[in-house]
Copies of this chain bind each other. A is one copy, B any other.
Amino acid sequence: MNKAAILHKPGWNYVYPLDRNTLKIRLKAAKNDLQEVKVIFGSRYDGKAPYNVKKMELVASDGLYDYFETSITMDDNRFRYLFYLSDGSEGIWFTEKGFSNIKPGKSFGYGEYFQYPVINEGDIFSIPEWVQDAVFYQVFPERFNNGNTDNDPDRIRPWGAKPESDSFFGGDLEGIIKKLDYLENLGVNALYLNPIFSSTSNHKYNIDDFYKVDPSFGNKEILKKLVVEVHRRGIRVILDAVFNHSGFNFFAFKDVRENGASSKYSDWFFIDNYPVKTTPPVNYDTFANDVIDMPKLNTSNPEVQDYLLGAAEYWLNEVDIDGWRLDVADEVDHNFWRKFRERVKKIKPNAYIVGEIWHNSEKWLQGDQFDAIMNYPLEMSVLDFFAYKKIGPGEFSNRLVRNWMLYQDRVNYSMLNLLDSHDTRRLINFFSGEKELMKLAVLFQFTYPGAPMIYYGDEVGIEGEDDPDCRRCMVWDIEKQDKDLYKYYQKLISLRHELIPLRRGDYQPIVIDEIKNTYGFLRSYEDESIVVIINNSPLSQKYTLAGNLFGYKKEISNYL
């Protein structure tokens, strides 16, 4: 037995409460090492044997590991437990103190068992249910639709011209309101808007006033109207919280620039010395390096925290948005995010909190900070498999499993699953224009657990290389829209709304075929099941489902 590879930890993604009397338990072992895994459990205040015994199921494998899971329920909510492991030749017990050939009995006392000391209500990770049913649509407001030419910035470029990093085109909130029919027809039921607060740039990631809608986008009343209108259509909307840094003309940074060390806001930023030098190399921390108009905020400073948390609360209270997407979320103080969660959820328990993190996000997804992240790790796996052909279905599956096993199930079902964004090239460009392959990736996106998100215009075939090219104007001329693609998206969206297994169902790979380059999986929810088999090869393939999966025989082809 490869004991050194066996992992269980008394918390995090290895044991967590589903409700006040149920724990989900996970154990990881080297691939193909264990034949039998059982969890033996009881109340931590009841020393009496025998305890309950439950078999743990092998639920997934990747290249290195097998993962075993089960859930255990008791009347009491104070657990202790240990594992029995067998590789066929050796059987051992596994406790908090390690491995033992002797079963820890009552005489071993409380010292040996793993403990889940109690399930308190506040320690159960609560994520809004609606996220699992959401199909998101990301709008970059400056480029979506110009609904009011009166508020246009000076010298806007003609709609549809090639965007440069400093171009303006006049998109605004009224423009979004005017296109809600379009979004409703497409079928999406959630919007994510890139930043809309007072800012000098077209992307507005350098915010000068966190309490003010940018005048070229509208004002608070128009935002309020937008939210009312989308809610009326059953659509939710989340905004972009850019709390890692401010803009150049943010009042506090202005004060520091003007008053130097004597500014009462000097601790709001990270200034190396005075006076503040605003030509590169600058003498203050910024987002990335030397981004002059994005001075990094000191989010460990309680004053800064109060200011930003106030803004987060303000927009929830004033216009009733449905959550926040958090920009550069992994460079902001963890304690800030804990307070953020508490204050946001207090105002709106159903608010969705989703961080922009491109990497392992375990530290933020334990229930005390975010609900989920923008699932860039999933995007990268999808692109490597479908677009770059860097990996086959086996490694694709391994990566999905590895990413899945980092989090609690409910987090995985609430991920914001995107394939591109304002920070990447356009999806069709990842595929070098090969639309049929892109469709496979989108099919996967819409049939995998987690809320899919469409980057505005992908559904009509907008192209674009890296920023700023990926931020081209939305194409409204129906002659220039890719109708085939639009219908494909529309159908997938409607299937996802219609078929609950796609939203809530278990996920189980059933085809991993390296030769045929085919990957298939089963989504099951109660008595409904859906099979998706994706042929990632240029050849036509035929599959017969093992064991007559659906109890009847029917040939399906080109369903979509």
Binding site for B on A (CB under 8 A): 2-5, 7, 9-12, 29-31, 45-46, 63-65, 78, 96-99, 110-111, 114-115, 117-118, 120-123, 288-289, 298-300, 330-336, 338, 342, 358-360, 362-363, 368, 377, 380, 399, 402
CA–CA, A99 and B399, complex, Å? 12
Q: Which B residue sits closest to A31, measured CB to CB?
A: B4
Residue among B3, B111, B289, B359 making CB contact with A96, cutoff 8 Å:
B359
Report yes or no: A11 in contact with B362, Cβ–Cβ below 8 A: yes
Residue among B64, B110, B121, B333 making CB contact with A122, cutoff 8 Å:
B333
Jot down 10 A-B pairs with beta carbons below 8 A, ordered by A.
Answer: A2-B5, A4-B5, A10-B360, A11-B363, A64-B98, A117-B330, A120-B300, A120-B332, A120-B333, A335-B338
- Residues on the B chain within 8 Å of A96, using CB: 359-360
Report yes or no: B123 in contact with A10, Cβ–Cβ below 8 A: no
Q: How far is the CB of A397 from chain B (nearest CB, A)?
A: 13
Report yes or no: B330 in contact with A122, Cβ–Cβ below 8 A: no
Report yes or no: B115 in contact with A335, Cβ–Cβ below 8 A: no
Residue among B10, B31, B359 making CB contact with A362, cutoff 8 Å:
B10
- Residues on the B chain within 8 Å of A399, using CB: 97
Q: Which B residue sits closest to A120, measured CB to CB?
A: B333
- Residues on the B chain within 8 Å of A123, using CB: 300, 333-335
Q: How many copies of this protein are present in the complex?
A: 2
Report yes or no: B363 in contact with A122, Cβ–Cβ below 8 A: no
Q: How far is the CB of A336 from chain B (nearest CB, A)?
A: 7
Q: How far is the CB of A465 from chain B (nearest CB, A)?
A: 16
Report yes or no: A122 in contact with B299, Cβ–Cβ below 8 A: yes
CA–CA, A111 and B403, complex, Å? 13
Report yes or no: A300 in contact with B121, Cβ–Cβ below 8 A: yes
- Residues on the B chain within 8 Å of A331, using CB: 78, 117-118, 120
- Residues on the B chain within 8 Å of A120, using CB: 298-300, 331-334
Residue among B5, B114, B362, B368 making CB contact with A9, cutoff 8 Å:
B362
Report yes or no: B63 in contact with A98, Cβ–Cβ below 8 A: yes
Q: Which B residue sits closest to A11, measured CB to CB?
A: B363
What 9 pairs across the A-B complex have the smallest Cβ distances? A122-B300, A4-B5, A117-B330, A4-B30, A122-B333, A121-B300, A118-B331, A120-B333, A11-B363
CA–CA, A298 and B120, complex, Å? 8
Report yes or no: B4 in contact with A65, Cβ–Cβ below 8 A: yes
- Residues on the B chain within 8 Å of A360, using CB: 9-10, 96, 114-115
- Residues on the B chain within 8 Å of A114, using CB: 359-360
- Residues on the B chain within 8 Å of A362, using CB: 9-11
Please judge, given known A-B contacts A98-B64, A98-B402, A335-B123, whether A359 and B115 are in contact too, CB under 8 Å. yes
- Residues on the B chain within 8 Å of A380, using CB: 111
- Residues on the B chain within 8 Å of A122, using CB: 299-300, 333-336
Given contacts A63-B98, A114-B360, A121-B333, list 4 more A-B pairs with CB under 8 A. A2-B2, A3-B64, A5-B5, A115-B359
